[in-house]
Structure formats: structure tokens, C-alpha cells
Amino acid sequence: MSNQIQFFDEMTGGASQAREPYAPYDAWFQGEDLDDLRNKSAEAEGFFRRTGITFNVYGQTEADERLIPFDVVPRIISGREWTRLTRGIEQRVRAINAFLYDIYHRQEILRAGRVPRELIDANVAFLPQMIGVAPPGGIYTHIVGTDLVRTGEDEFFVLEDNARTPSGVSYMLENRETMLQMFPDLFSRIKVRPVQNYPANLRRSLAACAPNACDGDCTVAVLTPGIHNSAYFEHAFLADQMGVELVEGHDLRVKDGRIAMRTTQGYKAIDVLYRRVDDDFLDPLNFNPDSMLGVPGIMDVYRAGGITIANAPGTGISDDKALYSYMPDIIEFYTGEKALLQNVPTHRCSEPEALKYVLDHLAELVVKEVHGSGGYGMLVGPAASKKELEAFRAKLVANPGNYIAQPTLALSTCPILTKAGLAPRHVDLRPFVLMAPDRITITPGGLTRVALQEGSLVVNSSQGGGTKDTWVLED
């Protein structure tokens, strides 16, 4: 990265003293012994190891199961900043839900020419099986993780939307639990808004989306692909925290027009299935016939109103990074308002002029696959070697529609604890949003991911990033 770029330091704002949200923490930190804090870091790692908080790295032959590194210095957001962010997040999630309903029904936004039809029709994430299907309560996006980055005191951007099967909420909860255990005195000095009620809110929100077939108490279950999935810990954790069953496809069957799970008392009908299985593997009769992870016939039961699937099948199209570039239009079309949170300027490589610009400026840009996630399949131009740039150039020329490109943002930094003391590292933030017919609930905080390597802009855990506890202050 060029030495000319100025990064916003969230703790100091570039001044000699801590910014207001960090001032109480800074005063506490100055009185602490660095060796004691480093010992706390080791203690935290032991806690995560005992709890079994790991993730799997695909394509690696060694050390497949890893701990996500945890940094004990919290990221702190003022109540005023959070209020502003939540207004923008809520506006965005409402617009995405309205957009999904529209493209699976009348497609008014396509008729109006605000989004190109080919971006939908040729999209692998668009499910023709969902055309004309109205999910219970009209909710597609039951759980959303919106990735935000900050570039200045009052400058926040949405980096991407995660409405398919957003992950990471278990780390948000365990990070807080760890901090509460290690630094109880801090929480008595600084009023931090709680995140621990997320599982109760999740269950309440899912139950509010029960189908008409539900008669009485709503039965919720979590569908996991199984223990080899990278987020299996989270699936088990959330089922346990909500007090619901964790099931795999082979535990379920169609019975009397419902999806029922095997129990010691026989089969019991499920009203809401929080699925962590991708669309393609959800139903071998409707999608991938080789899938062993899903439930044969579940889509037929869903279309008939016998079950709620969260998130709704077909929701993943809203995560498409080419579609992301149209989000300001989508928000305005469905809400009648300008977007409160800005998009990152995006070049759609499918367009010849944009492709030419990207190829000419490849060393300055971040290039991503439109369906990519986890930091895979992307190029960070300023950090790439000449060989990597040329290899990626060939990919772009061969399949331009598969990519978008964005400027390299001057991501804000937060301090992490190193051997020498505090040192700035780049961060992003994934707040978690729950949507029900009667309310939207945004947990005050979210998952802060941090690039632990000095100068790195890649925060993904699969690419060597870590996490922090995120504090939203009580005003």
C-alpha cells in the first residue's frame, strides 16, 4: 500500500488522545500491565479451544480445523454512530426483501428498466422454482449479515450483502462471553449494550414467520449439512442456544403434507426450518439430484405452505456482486428514498467500457467473483505480484461477466494487542439483522473481523484474519 494513504484510526482519529467512544477504555488500558493483558489473550485462546469454536478450511490437507484468532481489544462504536448505521441497514434489508418478492412475482423493477433483465434471467442464483411462491409473512430475508467498512469519522460503506446463509453470529456471542469472563470490571465501568439475547430474538423472529399449517406452538429446527461443514460449530451452537433440534437431511421426511423430524416418540412436524444448506442441495427432487444433504420433496411442501424455510430459497441472488452495484436504484425503487448507506463504487466487468478500465488499472483495484465469498477468488491489486496480475488478467478476459472491480478503500483501523503494545489493523463489521413480518431486530454490535497481518486488507478468517468483540455504547 502507498505510504500516502491516510487510514482513519477509530481509537484516536489521528489525534494524540482517544476519541470520545474510546476514552473510558483508554483510561482503563493505561492502568493495565501489558504482560497481564497478553496472559489474558492466551486465556481467551484456551477458552475457545475448550468450547470447540473452530472453523474448517477447505482445500487444505493439514490443520483443517482451526481456531479463529481473537483479539482482546474491543472495537467501540458510540450509540449515535450505531443509530445512524441501523437506520441505513434497516432501509437496505427492507429494500432487498421487497426486491426478492418482486423478481419472483411481477418483476416491476425489470419492466421499469432499473435492473437489467439478463442480470436476473442468466443468474445461477435465480430459482425459477420460486416464481409465484409467496413465503409465509412475505419474508425472504429472515437473517441477514450486512458487511460494512469505514473510511472516516462519518463515512461508512456497505461492502456486500449476505442474505443466503450468513455466518459468524456464534463468534459475536462467544467473543462477548469471553470478554465478560476476562474483564468483568470493564463492563461495570463502561455501559455496553448486550448481544446475548440474539438466540431468543432469533427464535422469536423465526416463530413469527410460521406457516398457516402451524397449529399451536411453533416447532423450529436447524438444518445442517453435518459435522464436515465449515460452520458446523455455529449450527450446533445456535440450535442449542435456541433450545431447538439440530437435524440433518436424513433425519427428515415428508409425512402427511408436512416435513417431519425423527424423534424418540416418532416423527414430529416442523413449522420453521432454519437451513444452513445451500439451495442446490436442499431438495434432490427439485435441484441437484445427487444431493445427500437435503430433503426429497421439501420444495413441494414449501410451495404448498406446509413449512417455512429460512432464509427462503432463491434469496441468494441478492448477494450477487454485480447486482450489488444496482442497490442504490433498488433502494430508491422500493422505498422512494435515497440510500442512507453508500455502496462502494463498482465496475461491472460485463460492460466493455468498465472491463477496459479495470484491465488498464488492475494493479489499483480489488476484483471479486460475483458469486464469491470467504475472500476466495479475489485479487487485491496493490498487494498482487506481477505474475498474479497477469494470471487474473487472463481470467477477466476469458469470463468478464464473472467479475466486478472496486477501488481499494482506505479501511479504518482499530488497535490490536501485540508484543509491543497496541498496533493498528484494518477491520470490517458484520451486523446481524432479523426480519419478521412485524419487526426488524438488529443486534447492537456484530462481528468485527480484523486483518492481523500489518498492512493487510483481507479480514476473512479463511485468509488469516481474526475477530474482536464489538461494543455499542449505551448513550
- Say if CB 400 and CB 367 are below 8 A apart: no
Contacts of 288 (CB under 8 A, 6+ apart): 280, 281
pLDDT in tens, 183-193: 999 999 999 99
Q: What is the CATH number of the domain that holds 374?
A: 3.30.1490.270
**165 inside domain:** yes
Which residue, 353, 380, 408, sits at the end of a domain?
Answer: 408
Which residue, 258, 285, 306, sits at the end of a domain?
Answer: 306
b/e map 392-415, b = 16+ CB within 10 Å: beeebeeebebbbbbebbbbbbbb
Say what the pLDDT of residue 62 is: 46
**456 inside domain:** yes
**DSSP category for residue 279:** G
Q: What is the CATH number of the domain that holds 273?
A: 3.40.50.11290
Q: What mean pLDDT comes out for the span 329-350?
A: 95
Is the model's pLDDT at 469 over the cut of 50?
A: yes
**420 inside domain:** no
Model confidence at 462, in pLDDT bands (50, 70, 90)?
low
Say what the pLDDT of residue 322 is: 86
Is the model's pLDDT at 367 over the cut of 50?
A: yes
**189 inside domain:** yes
Q: Do 377 and 289 reside in the same domain of the chain?
A: no
Q: Do 359 and 331 reside in the same domain of the chain?
A: no
Domain count, the chain: 3
C-alpha distances in Å from residue 248, one per residue of 186, 221, 332? 41, 10, 40
- Say if CB 230 and CB 57 are below 8 A apart: yes
**What is residue 45's three-state secondary structure?**
helix
Contacts of 3 (CB under 8 A, 6+ apart): none
pLDDT in tens, 25-84: 999 999 999 999 999 998 888 888 887 666 555 444 444 566 788 999 999 999 999 999
pLDDT in tens, 195-233: 999 999 999 999 999 999 998 899 999 999 999 888 899
Q: Do 161 and 45 reside in the same domain of the chain?
A: yes
Is the model's pLDDT at 327 over the cut of 50?
A: yes
C-alpha distances in Å from residue 138, one per residue of 60, 177, 409? 41, 34, 36
b/e map 233-268, b = 16+ CB within 10 Å: bbbbbbbebbebbbbbbebbbbeeebbbbeeeeebe
Q: Do 140 and 166 reside in the same domain of the chain?
A: yes
Compute the mean pLDDT over every residue in the chain, rounded to the nearest whole number.
91
Residues in the chain: 475
User: CA-CA distance, 23 to 11, in Å (whole number)?
Assistant: 8
Q: What mean pLDDT comes out for the span 395-402?
A: 91
Q: Do 134 and 27 reside in the same domain of the chain?
A: yes
The C-alpha cell that represents 170 in the structure block: 456464534
The domain in which residue 356 lies consists of 345-408
Is the model's pLDDT at 278 over the cut of 80?
A: yes
**203 inside domain:** no
Which residue, 408, 436, 457, sits at the end of a domain?
Answer: 408
The contacts found for 290-293 with CB under 8 angstroms, 24 or more apart, are 291/249, 292/249, 292/250, 293/225, 293/226, 293/248, 293/249
Q: Do 58 and 112 reside in the same domain of the chain?
A: yes
Q: Position of cell 430474538?
A: 201
Phi-psi region of 107 (alpha: psi -120 to 50; beta: other; left: phi over 0): left
Q: Do 265 and 158 reside in the same domain of the chain?
A: no
Instruction: For strands 245-247 and 252-255, give the pairing.
Output: unpaired
Is the model's pLDDT at 100 over the cut of 80?
A: yes
- Say if CB 9 and CB 147 are below 8 A apart: no
* % of residues, the chain, pLDDT over 70: 94
Q: Do 119 and 218 reside in the same domain of the chain?
A: no
Say what the pLDDT of residue 420 is: 87
Termini Cα distance of the chain = 37
**421 inside domain:** no
Burial class (CB in 10 A: 0-12, 13-18, 19+), 30: exposed
Task: Return the biggest CA–CA distance within the chain.
Answer: 68
- Nearest to 81, CA basis, from 169, 131, 148: 148
Q: Do 7 and 156 reside in the same domain of the chain?
A: yes
**376 inside domain:** yes
**207 inside domain:** no
Q: Do 296 and 331 reside in the same domain of the chain?
A: no
Say what the pLDDT of residue 63 is: 45
Instruction: For strands 342-343 and 155-162, give the pairing.
Output: parallel
Q: Do 75 and 180 reside in the same domain of the chain?
A: yes
Q: Do 450 and 352 reside in the same domain of the chain?
A: no
Is the model's pLDDT at 331 over the cut of 70?
A: yes
